[in-house]
Structure 1
Amino acid sequence: MPEIKTRQVRKGTIKSLDRAAAMTCRLKDVQTRTKDLIDDPRTRSSGSPDEYASNRITGMAQDAGTDAVYMAERTAAWAEGKIRYAVSHAQDGVPASPVRTQGFIRFRKRQLAEKQQIAGRQRSLRNYGSREKSIRNFANSRQLARTKGKEKAIREFARQRTVVDSRKKSLQSVRITKRAARRTGRMVQRTARRLRDLIRSAKAMIEAISAGGIVCLVTVLVCILFGAAFYFFGDDSSANYTPVSPEVEAYSAVIFKYAGQYGIGEYTELIKAVMMQESGGKGTDPMQASESGYNKKYPHSPNSIKDPEYSIKCGVQALAASLKEAKCKNPMDMDRIRLALQGYNYGNGYISWAIARDGGYTVENASDFSDMQAKKHGWKSYGDKQYPAHVLRYYPYGNYNYGIGNGKIVSVAARQIGNKGGQKFWSWYGFHSRVEWCACFVSWCSDQCGYIKAGIMPKSAGVGGMISFYKNKHQWQTRSYKPSAGDVIFFDWGSDGSPDHVGLVEKCDGRTVYTIEGNSSDTCRRRSYPVGGRQIYGYGVPKY
């Protein structure tokens, strides 16, 4: 077998096998052995020569691969040992070969670089610690400054809050004092008016005594008793009472004379109230009785009577007949007094007609009767639809404030209850799509009664415009007012001084206001509120 040749490597380097030469030698050896085996009789039974050669070559290739791997592993281990040897000798100070010196230099460089990195990190940590300490000191000082600033701000805020609270309490005290003063003033005025009424009644009694009329004396005593009863048991509605003028008071003796003569001596204050409404006590016909059936002296045309006493005589007779027709029981029988007063204005034909239709006076039937008579005679108007309310302003004994007003507009509004969406009202006003329609509803009801055309009520789609209308006409009342049917009620839901809703008063019983409102949850419906409630902003009081 030929000898396997190796290649000698320069001393100091790693020896390696010439794998190609080794493989060539091995293949030659395989060929030689294969030839010998072919000639050997022992191998003929194991198969053909080709198979044997193929198997042999495969086995030799595997052996060669295994040997190559083994030699490579030995070479790597040998190189690693050399490197470790060089490093250990360099650390001990033993001179090394150039290869060892270069490796040592690289190693030392890496070592120095690592030491420098470690030192740099340590310096960074020390610097970071210093910075962190500085930051903590700065934060502490700033926090301290902020704390002091906050404490100062809190003290200042508390001081200002104390000042504001003191001012608010002072203003509140002033408001309370003003309200108390106003209430006291109103009470003093009411008391003074009632005392004046009692004094007038007392004067009348003295005059009756001096005249020797015992019947008149009893009548005056009855009036005094009614006045005293009203003083002690009456309600706050009398706060709206307006005293008659001095001109009317000047006719007290004449009024008393004819009231006693025609059997209504206890109604002297009512006669004065009628005169106040008719003329204010001025002119030659203070009772406006020229067109009365009891005028037998002068033509039946307005203001034809030229004798004030004769006017009073005729007017007292007419009023006495109305009171009798209405079956009034006493000066406090307000339902029948209203019926009698409207009959005095329209004529007694109204009294029987109203009793037959509704059992007595209502604002609505008074309005209907007027319209009916105006149409019948071809006139623009007939009488005063609100005559009882206008007279009773000057009557000190009656609760004239409740149930008086314009029942016609209330009746119109009541027929719209249940309407949803309000299209009927906002489209009437001229809008092509839905708007907040509470004011449109009130304006529509006013128009149906002819009050917009007459200038009694405004046409407005906004609450503010309506309020300005009534304030400019001096027809405005605050929320403490006890309203009448037909008054316009305004609301301020947020209590911020900005009104935002309007409706119509249906009635008031002295404690509760009953209303009919459009756009109340997008519906026309009835509602109620306590008199003087916070949500009430005020009232418009039209002069129907």
Structure 2
Amino acid sequence: MKIMRLKIMLITYGVGFLLFFGLLVFVALFISNEDDSSGRNYSDMDGVGSVSVSAGVLKHRPMVEKYAKEYGVSEYVSTLLAIMEVESGGRLIDVMQSSESMGLPPNTLDSEEASIKQGVKYFADLIQSAGSKGVDGNTVIQAYNYGGGFIDYVAQRGKRYSFDLAQSFAKKHSGGSKTTYSNPIAVKKNGGWRYLYGNMFYVDLVNQYFHSPQFDGDLVQLVMDEALKYEGYPYVFGGDNPNTSFDCSGLTQWSYQKAGINLPRTAQQQYDFTEHIPLSEAKPGDLVFFHSTYNSGTYVTHVGIYLGDNQMYNAGDPIGYADLTTAYWQKHLIGAGRIKQ
């Protein structure tokens, strides 16, 4: 009986090693092939930033766009394509590996369209839940792998994703759940291997497919050339184009888009999309964020374009320049945000 138990343990540890080694190989292959001619590096500039995915995934973009529009998450097409790349690389019928989100065994859905429809619907449900609980975008990405319980977990622990939270959630659920939303990952601990729930590296695996441009003087000039056209326009809540005028995030989204940079729509989403830095480290072209300027139900309520020397350009009322050293802006200041590289 002891020999049999030993055999089972050896098999289990061996499988765990292969799974973990396979993950390392996957990441290494992506890095080494990033600039090759194997079909990668297809740019999707219609979503949040630029995403580089395989031809096998890119062919599903029209279907993803169709259901993203149906479920109200069109601004997340790039994210959904990156998720698909991680889940299947476009090579499986259940292309978004969404069977499990319906409580079904893996690869149960029998058509690519059914998988995409369910995957997008599931993602949209996670977005809605995240919005109601005030958590960030990376929490939603990890929740696609872990399940919606991760959103509650993060909401109770500061409302911002971290790898430590992903790891602790995995440890908490290891060995106790029949639904993992992904193959388990084996990690080494105390000289041996053990399984963890889901894939705690999921956010990094998805985000590696995103590439955003580096700001430079010319790019900042393109943004400001567009934004300055609307100096003196009135602030219009919900406005996102010159025909309606703009609200704060509508102005930043429109102006940056003219420079080839696709930002999400709201101030909170733009904050979640950027790398957070103190204002003292901000450079012209970064965004600057504020809280509690009105009751919006989100932490971040206002955004402007940082110009340097504690000056910003923003959709106040009217649209124009503002001095960040004034008592009002200092009271509400969160900090700056840099578009991720």
Q: TM-score, normalised by structure 2?
A: 0.43
Higher relative contact order (CA 8 A, sep 6+): 2
Relative to its length, the structure with more strand (as a share) is 2
Structure exhibiting the larger radius of gyration computed from Cα positions? 1
Relative to its length, the structure with more helix (as a share) is 1
